[in-house]
Structure 1
Amino acid sequence: MDTSAVEINGKGFARSVTLTANAAGPVNSAEYHLGRHYRTFAATVGLRDDSPTGGSLTFEVAIDGTREYRETIHLGESRDIKLDIGNALRIKLTVTYTGQDSGSVYYGSWGDARIQPSTP
């Protein structure tokens, strides 16, 4: 996992969560403890611009074990997502290799990933 700056679909993001996937490691995930203190998760989702041409990954977000978002995104595309995570204990971000060039590594990023605290 990498949390540095990235470019997704030509747009720069100062903070991100990036996971790699390829034929040897087709699924990669990162899980975070939320402690039931947050209400929304938002990010711009897509492949990092330095991923191989023609690539795509399936992005998933699960809240307390229940999938709340799933979409296959191709290089050069991005999606803005915003999910309700109110009262959630855990969030899991996952990328899955979708079977392009088996020798290449693909970089799935959540650009400017952020969680908004619950109001007191």
Structure 2
Amino acid sequence: MVFKEKNLPPQCPPTDAVQKDVEPVYRFIENDTLQEIDFLNHRERNITYRSEQKCEALAISFFTTEQAAERLRKKFKRKFKEKILLKGKITEECGIHKTENDHLNLWLFQDVNMLNVFPVE
């Protein structure tokens, strides 16, 4: 398995991360049109994160329920107010992931184009 992110810290992804299909998943996107920027991790987007969260910051964040995503929007109103919540899927070919409390972190494999995988017809 070759990951998109080349400089993963030790123990990242976690040893209990799995590789399997998950549908539906939900992701906040920038506007009505799905774009490449919508599938960049925190480091790629230059979003600050705590050093102890480096592994999570190198993953792409999804929710396994719409309610969990809306709870986050409510908690961080300013940041997520204008974002669009989109329903999609991830497949085992995307990478490996770990889910905790309806939040899924996906460590993406190299050469995966989420613009082709995520949208649900």
TM-score range (shorter-chain normalised) is under 0.3
What is the TM-score normalised by the length of structure 2?
A: 0.24
More strand by share: 1
